[in-house]
């Protein structure tokens, strides 16, 4: 097969082709490495390419397949977000403060992928410490979305923080990618790039070896080309891990078995509070179209209320920075990563952190330190935790009446790089539809559902009950089939 046909395959298509011996894992990896060499100077999706390791892993995979010992992901070429520690391979969280940190251990999620036979093509760009909605806070520079608006050459954001993951999948620079979601960092980039993004239930995937941003919100998940691909990858990523105290000791279902199942009779909630006054007409129309598609598939549609939604963003931007300020205290120039000189210990700390952290990370550390400080803890952090409980209660009440919720994924299509950097609040508003699921620990999936007037992809989001990803995969595949989204970015790189 031609190299371009190999990179254009879905993950499921690649598994079928490998099983039928139409091509080898080594050929599949080589085709992707060639595509990365050509595209990455323009897209900046990968911060580190690992060609020698990829080819060695692919050859080992071919040997296993020849011996009849192929795993569930054997030979599948993946990109790994640079937030996942990979043993012996530089892992930086896209921050200067980690310098050239090479972990002596492997994250549990990536260990599961290698156990199942996957191949690592390299480490993917991201917002620094996963803090951002446009992939512009990375120490390695922004990722450029492979999509362009019709008639324009202006570079667009792929979304964040998993911008490298989404751009690499959309541009066929990997079959699928790992990503993480703290407030929408899987789903919003998926919506901006015409890919599928799944944020699983909190605790479904281990956080061990994933550089921490906000420990009670962070969750790993897949970005893939199709709902089925995401289901296959999530099964390998998930699983109980005794090294993570928040990891859920539950069985991992065969998520792919839910894809294509009938959704007849399922009750779908449409939350009133998500109909924002300033919502663009195209987003509202797509949402209505999504409701119609699910109705046609046999679902019952019901209006629901999530009254505390309006407090979700402020709650998130108290809880997440508070946890970040605590988690990032370990970066002091003493144990690993960057170290700047100083006249005394305090100066070493100050100089290292001043040089090592980017502006957005500093902003969030300052916010977090402030809301945790004496005199403000009760007024901000404690109150935010109480509101968080109310938001979760809203979902509990809604799920007594419905099986899942349908909302837009993001309030707009991809915007231009540089557009919102000077206005942090405008940037934070990108997370308006996604942060609620993180605060409540629920699963969510973004499915590409249409194009806006400029020819850019738009996504619809499904939110489910805790640990009910199966229902979401059934509904997501019904949406995927109805939307028949086949658009791909036209290569300009």
- Per-residue pLDDT tens over the stretch 372-387: 999 999 999 999 999 9
Res 1 pLDDT > 80: no
Whether 5 is catalytic: no
Alpha carbon 179 to chain centroid distance? Answer: 4
Which sign does the torsion angle of CA 235, 171, 189, 459 carry? negative
Res 226 pLDDT > 80: yes
Q: Strand 77-81 relative to strand 119-124: parallel, antiparallel, unpaired?
A: parallel
pLDDT digits (tens, 9 = 90+) for 435-444: 999 999 999 9
Contact call for residues 231 and 259 (beta carbons, < 8 A): yes
Confidence label for 425 from pLDDT (cuts 50, 70 and 90): confident
pLDDT digits (tens, 9 = 90+) for 47-95: 999 999 999 999 999 999 999 999 999 999 999 999 999 999 999 999 9
Spatial CA neighbour of 217 closest among 441, 23, 400, 53: 441
Question: Does 422 or 214 have the greater pLDDT score?
Answer: 214
Backbone dihedral region of 152: left (phi > 0), alpha (psi from -120 to 50 degrees) or beta?
A: beta
What is the model's pLDDT at position 345?
Answer: 95
What is the model's pLDDT at position 264?
Answer: 98
Q: Give dist(CA 36, CA 172) in Å, integer.
A: 9
Averaged pLDDT, 239-264: 98
Q: Give dist(CA 23, CA 29) in Å, integer.
A: 11
Averaged pLDDT, 265-272: 98
Whether 161 is catalytic: yes
Tell me the backbone φ, ψ of residue 360, rounded to 5 degrees: -65, -40
Q: What is the mean pLDDT of the chain?
A: 96
pLDDT digits (tens, 9 = 90+) for 107-153: 999 999 999 999 999 999 999 999 999 999 999 999 999 999 999 99
> Residues 12, 81, 123, 199: which is the catalytic one?
81
Averaged pLDDT, 318-324: 97
Confidence label for 278 from pLDDT (cuts 50, 70 and 90): confident
Confidence label for 335 from pLDDT (cuts 50, 70 and 90): confident
Averaged pLDDT, 276-296: 95
Entry field: residues in the chain:
493
Q: How far are the Cα atoms of 189, 208, 222, 260, 491 from residue 145, in angstroms, in the given order?
A: 9, 30, 18, 30, 11
> Residues 185, 236, 446, 477: which is the catalytic one?
185
What is the model's pLDDT at position 427?
Answer: 82
Contact call for residues 101 and 125 (beta carbons, < 8 A): no
Res 311 pLDDT > 80: yes
> Residues 161, 206, 474, 477: which is the catalytic one?
161
Which sign does the torsion angle of CA 18, 186, 54, 488 carry? positive
What is the model's pLDDT at position 134?
Answer: 96
What is the model's pLDDT at position 423?
Answer: 81
Res 186 pLDDT > 90: yes
Contact call for residues 404 and 458 (beta carbons, < 8 A): no
What is the model's pLDDT at position 420?
Answer: 85
Whether 362 is catalytic: no
* Beta carbons within 10 angstroms of residue 281's beta carbon: 8
pTM of the complete model: 0.97
Domains and CATH numbers, the chain: 1-493 (3.90.1300.10)
């Amino acid at each position: 097969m031609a190299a371009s046909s190999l990179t254009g395959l879905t993950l499921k298509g690649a598994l079928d082709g490998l099983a039928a011996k139409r091509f080898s894992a080594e050929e599949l990896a080589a085709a992707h490495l060639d595509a990365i060499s050509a595209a990455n100077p323009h897209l900046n999706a990968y911060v580190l390419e690992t060609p020698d390791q990829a080819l060695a892993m692919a050859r080992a995979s071919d040997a296993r397949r020849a011996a009849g010992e192929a795993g569930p992901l054997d030979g599948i070429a993946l990109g790994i977000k640079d937030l996942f520690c990979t043993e012996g391979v530089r892992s930086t969280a896209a921050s200067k403060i980690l310098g050239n940190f090479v972990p002596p251990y492997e994250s549990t999620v990536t260990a599961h992928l290698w156990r199942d036979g996957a191949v690592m093509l390299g480490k993917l760009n991201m917002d620094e410490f996963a803090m951002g909605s446009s992939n512009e806070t990375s120490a390695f520079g922004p990722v450029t979305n492979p999509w362009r608006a019709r008639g324009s050459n202006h570079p667009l954001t792929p979304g964040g923080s998993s911008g490298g993951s989404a751009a690499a999948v959309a541009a066929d620079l990997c079959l699928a990618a790992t990503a993480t979601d703290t407030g929408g960092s899987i789903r919003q980039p998926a919506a901006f790039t015409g890919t599928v993004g799944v944020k699983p239930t909190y605790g479904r995937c281990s956080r061990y070896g994933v550089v921490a941003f906000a420990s009670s919100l962070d969750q790993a998940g897949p970005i893939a080309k199709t709902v089925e691909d995401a289901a296959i990858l999530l099964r390998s990523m998930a699983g109980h891990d005794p090294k993570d105290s928040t990891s859920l000791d539950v069985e991992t279902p065969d998520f792919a078995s839910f894809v294509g199942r009938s959704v007849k009779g399922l009750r779908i909630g449409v939350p009133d509070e998500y109909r924002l006054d300033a919502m663009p007409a195209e987003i509202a129309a797509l949402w209505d179209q999504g409701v119609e598609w699910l109705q046609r598939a046999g679902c019952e549609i019901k209006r629901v209320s999530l009254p505390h939604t309006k407090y979700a963003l402020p709650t998130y931007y108290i809880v997440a920075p508070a946890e970040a300020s605590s988690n990032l205290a370990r970066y002091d120039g003493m144990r690993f990563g960057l170290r700047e000189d100083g006249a005394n210990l305090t100066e070493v700390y100050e100089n290292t952190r001043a040089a090592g952290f980017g502006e957005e990370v500093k902003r969030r550390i300052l916010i977090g330190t402030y809301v945790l400080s004496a005199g403000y803890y009760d007024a901000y952090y404690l109150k935010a935790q109480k509101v968080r409980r109310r938001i979760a209660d809203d979902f509990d009440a809604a799920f007594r009446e419905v099986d899942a919720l349908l909302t837009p994924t993001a309030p707009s299509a991809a915007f231009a790089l540089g557009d919102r950097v000077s206005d942090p609040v405008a940037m934070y508003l990108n997370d308006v539809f996604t942060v609620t699921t993180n605060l409540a620990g629920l699963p969510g999936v973004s499915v590409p559902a249409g194009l806006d007037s400029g020819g850019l992809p738009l996504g619809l989001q499904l939110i489910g009950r805790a640990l009910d990803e199966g229902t979401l995969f059934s509904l997501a595949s019904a949406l995927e089939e109805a939307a028949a989204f086949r658009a791909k970015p036209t290569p300009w790189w």
